[in-house]
């Protein structure tokens, strides 16, 4: 039985990855040059194993909020021919922190938690250097501080924040080590503690 032969590979693995990346870039470049196609700007960063993709009310507003409140930097931004932001990536350092699109894009009906009427079941947990300073910045630009910065038994100082679209963010700075003696009991937790244990 005849079998299809695999094309011979040339170069080492690093060279082959570069060739694949170059081909991907050519495809992307061709796609944005088609008639009435979106345009892409910005620089790609490393993608972590999990990157949240959110639905927001207005992507331009979210770009400004996440930059001012959380210090995220704009990455790849995709805009429609009329200039509307339809996809955005924002980075924290060298890693993509969050991606999002506005409500109603791609013919979808999904809404942000603030507009859906449903309770948001997800919390993003993000490392930062100065959690108190971040909390102050976020409050200044309209974020809701659900729980003030608090030293937790697992060694992090954590603030719990709700953004204007209803998403919950926990930002954490390392301040110590895990201390089982400070871990709340089930009875204490059921009666309501200063910081809800969600993660």
| pLDDT score, position 196 | 54
Q: Among all chains, which residue has been given the structure tokens 């954490």?
A: 172
CATH class of 37-190: alpha beta
CA atoms within 13 A on the CB side of 148: 1
Give the start-to-end residue ranges of the domains of the chain. 37-190
DSSP H/E element including 31: helix 13-32
Helix (H) or strand (E) holding 190: helix 186-190
21 vs 25: CA distance, rounded Å: 6
Q: Label each residue of 127-146 as H, E or C.
A: ECCCHHHHHHHHHHCCCEEE
Alpha helices (H) in 50-183, listed in sequence order? 59-70, 113-116, 131-140
Q: Is the pLDDT of residue 108 over 50?
A: yes
Give the integer Cα–Cα distance in Å for 2 and 84.
Answer: 52
Grade residue 115 by pLDDT with cuts at 50, 70 and 90. Answer: very high
Which structure tokens are listed for 20?
């694949």
Q: Cα separation of 127 and 46, whole Å?
A: 16
Provide mean pLDDT across the span 120-124: 92
How confident is the model over 14-51, as pLDDT tens digits? 454 444 334 333 333 333 333 455 555 655 556 778 89
DSSP bridge partners of 171: 126, 159
Predicted confidence at residue 16, as pLDDT, reads 44
pLDDT greater at residue 118 or residue 20: 118
Cα gap 191→55, rounded to integer Å: 34
* % of the chain beyond a pLDDT of 70: 69
């Amino acid at each position: 039985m005849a079998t299809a032969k695999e094309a011979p590979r040339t170069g080492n693995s690093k060279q082959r990855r570069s060739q694949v990346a170059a081909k991907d870039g050519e495809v992307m470049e061709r796609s944005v040059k088609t008639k009435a196609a979106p345009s892409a700007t910005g620089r790609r960063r490393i993608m972590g194993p999990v990157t949240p993709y959110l639905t927001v009310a207005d992507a331009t507003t979210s770009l400004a909020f996440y930059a001012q409140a959380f210090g995220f930097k704009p990455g790849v931004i995709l805009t429609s021919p009329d200039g509307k932001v339809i996809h955005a990536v924002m980075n924290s350092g060298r890693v993509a922190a969050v991606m999002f699109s506005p409500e109603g894009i791609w013919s979808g009906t999904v809404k942000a938690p603030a507009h859906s009427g449903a309770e948001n079941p997800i919390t993003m947990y993000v490392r930062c250097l100065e959690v108190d300073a971040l909390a102050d910045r976020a409050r200044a630009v309209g974020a809701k501080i659900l729980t003030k910065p608090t030293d937790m038994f697992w060694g992090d100082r954590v603030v719990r924040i709700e953004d204007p679209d209803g998403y919950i963010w926990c930002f954490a700075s390392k301040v110590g080590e895990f201390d089982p003696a400070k871990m709340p009991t089930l009875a204490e937790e059921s009666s309501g503690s200063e910081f809800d244990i969600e993660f």
